[in-house]
């Protein structure tokens, strides 16, 4: 088969690779039909993720067809169409039993990280019964592949941890794919206002089409002031950080209402300065979370019910074997006005 | 009457002062029978709290007897023994109606701050119906005065915000009065282990007598390492910060288990460095809170039921008119092995 | 002034009555501009509500203009447009402080019950600061008057108590005004399916226009069977009872999924048979609630944000002094295809 | 081996039986070292549980040693001491993934019901990884066997579902083993008062030794009146039904405070009359639950920490092969003042 193999920083290669085999009775082998690229794949290619070693097949998102099954897998049959979760969950350890699959002692984020991933023609999925989900009949693959990672990430880390409630004022800092996933799913709880904040006017326009009721371009350094004006000096009930930089984190802590929630989604590479001298008496809640994918079954129900339209996040489509071109487009998102790219096998 | 008046940094004075009068139909005048001193009173005397101006009577804790009542007060009668809440709540504003009395638009922490306080023979209490609590028959005053501030502060900001649950491992950083109040009330939820962390071996001994199952002296800089050993490398479910310094905050963020809660109680004067590069994927919750005193009725029930013994926090007793001596003792807590001081009017 | 006065079962009268006066410093006198009729007013007229005595002015819903204010009212001024809450809350008692205004020791449901109500040109509102809400600028009165009772009732007793979550399957038994209010506000939480159940095909058609994804006419006694088919034998996550009869309660208990919630809104006059022999192991939650109106501020935000359209519930409009005609229409709702009637003073 | 086999109503037999064998890769065979008898075993012997067919080995509680393991079991090794959960959980189905193991699509309550149970020298446990728990080092077996069923049942169905909070007034109707387990674990949350209600003065005396602050003998039919007096007319915050009869259920609904919780544990054979004509406006919550055993890991932590003493529930001890004698004692609990019996293999 062919796969996208990491050969060190800046060196991805679409090349021939041996097909994965079952290694445990709980494994499945899935033939990929749709995959996509995540922001963290770009981080890996920059060499920022030391757990990824040379020779690794990248990718942790995908849709496919079950090709082989270990003897202990009971929930799927050969030929089933499945969504691959970015998080592998054994279903047995203490963390899995608290629904913190992200910290599964035998899994977690392993695909395209410590084991071979989904940017390939075939992939091995450990603990298939608790790491795969049946694709609902009639679901579009390029919409459904957003449920591998980006939708549960935006929803769980941003919306659920942020405790978005009807009538709330929500700010989402960052209008990239994850920020837009949070923006989209925050509407599950009918906030009264959603303010999208980004540096890129094009993305802010997209945010409006996704439901933002106000937008703020933070390029001039006045985002905090602007949000405070928009909220009549009260600040926001929920600030969702979907970038991962000290500057965007700062905006979030600057706009929190008393009693507000700061829900971090962004992957941070550096410490931030937390203004406890101002926040200690603000009844604030600050959360972090690695996506647990525990809401995937619920998201699938809303998708099936026609109430969620994640396909809107896909701006570009490529054949899987044109993946290097897809990386180029996704890696220059502003230039190409790209959100998510769909990688298709026909 | 006499009162403890602030005349600028380092200049408290026990002096003659005119008696307070009713200013609104919702006010009560309370004759103080027991008062006490809070750590924040020491901060005020250092000049650290700019909202406190010269001429202000200090103190926000106290027990007393209702002496006069405004015409709109319906819950109390002249002669009733009452506990004065450190937080004044109008009961009408949006924050009060969300049970965030600390941010009451017409009250909050005002006693001994922006209006005259309880270290006096008489005090005016605005919004008496929602800021006073009837002293249960038979309750000891020096125990009950701990419910003015320190018990609800430790419980609400530390234990409730920290989400302590049966079976949890809890760490309380700081074994001063507020830390001990958190330690004491964390036992409402039957944690399996409570680790007390402080610089002072005497206070750690006290912490053990209050229910700590392990103690760590952090003087050697190895507290994080020690807690990780005690928890077999897992960290704690709940870390309660009861000091208010970057160093103690650091210990808390260093010992959090995946999924853990960091509940800040300490009053911080400076920013802290938050290690988001390590915490972003830890499913952490960090909270701040100014005591709302919404649990005071519940704490009174546990006190009445004989299940809470806050009198143990009182180490020294003074007549109210010896308050300057009491300040000296409380201000040199380590030297005198002091926790809380009771100021009594006989 | 004129008012609708109850003179015993079946004897309402629109007649001249002396204007209400301030009786306490916390009262307001409100000049009614819009009122409406509730199903419970019909119960009163049948003589079913023994707390209502002869001579009582009926009505507990209304919009109006503040005409006079007691001296202790601080949140409103003469001339303010206000929404009158069906529940009077003192804001001070233990129940109010737990946000159970319905059980306020000094209020609760008193308007048009134990004190004179809103089907009059003027009404006295006790505890005005905590029982009135400012009408948002630009809000339509006939939409906003739905927030006096029916919207918070459907939302709090049905949707919140039922714990509706994204992806849920919800059934609402009863498509009268309260059932429709529950149906409308259940969509705040993006359920995947909402099944409306009623005896009247016209109301079921209305339910579909309000967002029901399926409808079941229960006239043939097969509603339970039909819902179980629609849910592939699983039952519903939330069953909302919005009628108040043993037969409709029975449907609810018959269609609950394991782990399901039965949220009762209906006013029951008789006991029901609860099938504990089937339900004891179903992990069921059954709730009752008298509307607390604690969500009125949130509902107002969603109304202002243009995300709630309760005006759709109004099918007929009358001048206030034509109220007897309005009662006739509302009392023969099926005949006139009536939901709520608006009573207007021009 | 020998086992207690059901040969129809009234016909248990301790007899020779073939040893169980592994049937799936996820099974374990456990050699029993301690077992016990449950109230539901008595129901089975009366013929009340139609799912139990002739030839079935009874029992769903036990401690033992892992004797054999299927190839897919990863959490245990041969020789490990384990607690057998009364609920078998596959860990994979939708119910297991919502922590409703009781409704597991591939398990649930099957032991001693639809598959052979634990009143035997050996037992086969399906889905061993998610249905067994490691016995903590040093734990006493007769204490730990209470965690197979009775402790999680009392805690989950009574205390957790009832939402017991610090300061609450709790009533537990029924002072048999399950009621006492609820009484014991309700103290995890520091209620101010716990009223135990039963027909048997001896059991009420035991209840006091377990922490009841008041007791009511309901034999005279005045239990409701008595509880209302004890609670100054307010009723209880939480009423836990631990019997399963209409009469005891009636007591519970008669003593609920406004806003109260009725948490049913009892196994009901008949419908009950629910007084919705009184309860519809009481803001009541009524719950049912079959034990999910999701709190077993937490209960083990409290046991290990020395904060839970379930061994107190054991009043009689027998050798496993004297099980018929043990049934006689347990079946005549009042006569023998029996609570739980321990069945031991030496």
User: For chain C, which residues lie within 8 Å of any Cβ of chain A, measuring from their own Cβ?
Assistant: 165-167, 187-190, 192-193, 213, 297-299, 301-302, 304-305, 307
Tell me what pLDDT residue A23 has.
96
In chain D, which residues have their Cβ closer than 8 Å to the Cβ of B187? 190
| Torsion on CA atoms C23, C29, C35, C39, rounded to nearest 10 | -20
Closest A-chain CA to B283 = A289
CA–CA separation, C21 and C29 (whole Å): 7
Choose among A14, A119, A115, A102: nearest CA to A63: A119
* Least CB–CB distance from B283: residue in A103, A266, A270: A103
CA–CA separation, B261 and B238 (whole Å): 5
Residue D272 has pLDDT above 90, yes or no: yes
Using one digit for the tens of pLDDT, what is the confidence trace for D132-191? 999 999 999 999 999 999 999 999 999 999 999 999 999 999 999 999 999 999 999 999
In chain C, which residues have their Cβ closer than 8 Å to the Cβ of D285? 285-287
Strands B214-217 and B193-198, bridge-based pairing: parallel
Choose among D177, D173, D171: nearest CA to D248: D173
CA–CA separation, B178 and D244 (whole Å): 46
* Least CB–CB distance from B103: residue in A279, A283, A289: A283
CA–CA separation, B49 and B149 (whole Å): 18
Tell me what pLDDT residue B346 has.
79
| Pairwise CB contact (< 8 Å): D302 & B213 | no
Using one digit for the tens of pLDDT, what is the confidence trace for D214-246? 999 999 999 999 999 999 999 999 999 999 999
| Pairwise CB contact (< 8 Å): D92 & A130 | yes
Closest D-chain CA to C257 = D103
In chain A, which residues have their Cβ closer than 8 Å to the Cβ of B281? 102, 267, 288-290
**Ramachandran region of residue C133, left (φ > 0), alpha (ψ -120 to 50) or beta?**
beta
| Pairwise CB contact (< 8 Å): B305 & D213 | yes
Q: Which of B156, B167, B294 would you mutate first to test chain D, the one with the most D CBs within 10 A?
A: B167
Copy the structure tokens of residue D249.
Answer: 């259920």
CA–CA separation, C39 and C111 (whole Å): 15
Strands A132-134 and A81-84, bridge-based pairing: antiparallel
**Chain B: closest CA distance from residue D299 (Å):** 7
CA–CA separation, C315 and C312 (whole Å): 7
CA-angle at B286, arms to B280 and B290, nearest 5°: 155
CA–CA separation, C53 and B17 (whole Å): 56
In chain B, which residues have their Cβ closer than 8 Å to the Cβ of A268? 276-277, 280
The pair phi, psi for residue B99, each rounded to 5°, is 65, 30
End-to-end CA distance of chain B: 15
Share of chain B above pLDDT 70, in %: 100
User: Is B56 within 8 Å of B116 (Cβ atoms)?
Assistant: yes
Question: From the CB of residue B274, how many other CB atoms can be counted at a distance below 10 Å?
Answer: 26
Residues 6+ apart with CB under 8 A from B92: B106, C74, C75, C91, C129, C130
Mean pLDDT by 10 residues, chain A (346 residues): 97 97 96 97 93 97 98 96 98 95 97 98 98 95 98 98 98 98 98 98 97 98 98 98 98 98 96 97 97 97 95 97 97 95 94
Tell me what pLDDT residue A114 has.
98
Residues 6+ apart with CB under 8 A from D184: D151, D154, D210, D211, D308, D309, D310, D312
Average pLDDT, chain D: 97
CA–CA separation, A263 and D272 (whole Å): 46
In chain C, which residues have their Cβ closer than 8 Å to the Cβ of D264? 276, 280
CA–CA separation, B33 and B67 (whole Å): 12
User: Is B169 within 8 Å of B189 (Cβ atoms)?
Assistant: no
The helix/strand/coil state of C52 is coil
**Chain D: closest CA distance from residue C270 (Å):** 5
The helix/strand/coil state of B130 is helix
Average pLDDT, chain B: 97
User: Is D136 within 8 Å of D303 (Cβ atoms)?
Assistant: yes
User: For chain C, which residues lie within 8 Å of any Cβ of chain D, measuring from their own Cβ?
Assistant: 95, 98, 100, 102-103, 244, 249, 258-259, 264, 266-277, 279-290, 292
Copy the structure tokens of residue C28.
Answer: 């307001």
Q: What subunits touch chain A, counting only 3 or more CB pairs under 8 A?
A: B, C, D
Measured CA to CA in angstroms, residue C223 lies from C172, C176, C191, C272 at distances of 12, 17, 20, 18
User: For chain B, which residues lie within 8 Å of any Cβ of chain A, measuring from their own Cβ?
Assistant: 95, 98, 100, 102-103, 244, 249, 258-259, 264, 266-277, 279-290, 292
Question: From the CB of residue A78, how many other CB atoms can be counted at a distance below 10 Å?
Answer: 11
Closest C-chain CA to D243 = C280
Average pLDDT over residues B224-236: 98
Residues 6+ apart with CB under 8 A from D238: D162, D163, D164, D168, D169, D170, D171, D186, D191, D260, D261, D262, D263
Tell me what pLDDT residue C321 has.
96
Using one digit for the tens of pLDDT, what is the confidence trace for B121-143? 999 999 999 999 999 999 999 99
* Least CB–CB distance from B166: residue in D188, D213, D304: D188
**Can you list the residues of chain C whose pLDDT is less than 70?**
none
Residues 6+ apart with CB under 8 A from D232: none
Helix (H) or strand (E) run with residue C69 in it: strand C62-69
In chain C, which residues have their Cβ closer than 8 Å to the Cβ of D270? 276-277
CA-angle at A140, arms to A137 and A145, nearest 5°: 105
Residue D346 has pLDDT above 90, yes or no: no
DSSP letter at B155 equals: I
Closest D-chain CA to C272 = D274
The helix/strand/coil state of B196 is strand
Using one digit for the tens of pLDDT, what is the confidence trace for C266-306? 999 999 999 999 999 999 999 999 999 999 999 999 999 99
| Pairwise CB contact (< 8 Å): D192 & B299 | no
Does the pTM of the predicted model rise above 0.90?
yes
């Amino acid at each position: 088969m062919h796969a996208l193999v990491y050969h060190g920083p800046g060196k991805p290669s679409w090349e021939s690779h041996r097909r994965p085999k079952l290694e445990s009775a709980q494994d499945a082998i899935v033939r990929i039909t749709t995959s996509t690229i995540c922001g963290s794949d770009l981080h890996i290619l920059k060499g920022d993720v030391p757990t990824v070693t040379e020779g690794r097949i990248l990718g942790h998102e995908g849709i496919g067809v079950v090709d082989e099954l270990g003897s202990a897998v009971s929930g799927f049959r050969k030929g089933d169409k499945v969504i691959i979760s970015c998080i592998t969950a054994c279903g047995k350890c203490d963390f899995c039993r608290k629904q913190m699959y992200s910290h599964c002692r035998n899994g977690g984020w392993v695909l395209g990280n410590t084991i071979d991933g989904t940017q390939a023609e075939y992939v091995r999925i450990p603990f298939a019964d608790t790491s795969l989900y049946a694709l609902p009949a009639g679901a579009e693959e390029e919409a459904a592949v957003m449920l591998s990672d980006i939708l549960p990430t935006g929803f769980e880390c941003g919306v659920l941890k942020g405790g978005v409630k009807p009538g709330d004022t929500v700010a989402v800092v960052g209008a990239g794919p994850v920020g837009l996933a949070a923006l989209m799913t925050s509407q599950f709880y009918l906030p009264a206002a959603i303010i999208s904040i980004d540096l890129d006017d094009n993305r802010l326009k997209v945010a409006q089409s996704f439901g933002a009721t106000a937008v703020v371009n933070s390029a001039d350094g006045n985002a905090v002031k602007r949000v405070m004006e928009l909220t009549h000096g009260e600040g926001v009930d929920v600030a969702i950080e979907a970038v991962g930089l000290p500057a965007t984190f700062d905006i979030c802590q600057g706009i929190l209402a008393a009693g507000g929630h700061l829900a971090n989604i962004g992957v941070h590479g550096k410490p931030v300065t937390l203004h406890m001298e101002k926040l200690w008496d603000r009844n604030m809640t600050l959360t972090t979370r690695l996506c647990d994918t525990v809401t995937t079954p619920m998201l699938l129900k809303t998708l099936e019910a026609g109430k969620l339209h994640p396909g809107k996040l896909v701006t570009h489509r490529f054949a899987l074997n044109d993946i290097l071109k897809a990386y180029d487009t996704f890696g220059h998102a502003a230039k190409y006005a790209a959100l998510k790219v769909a990688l298709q096998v026909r």
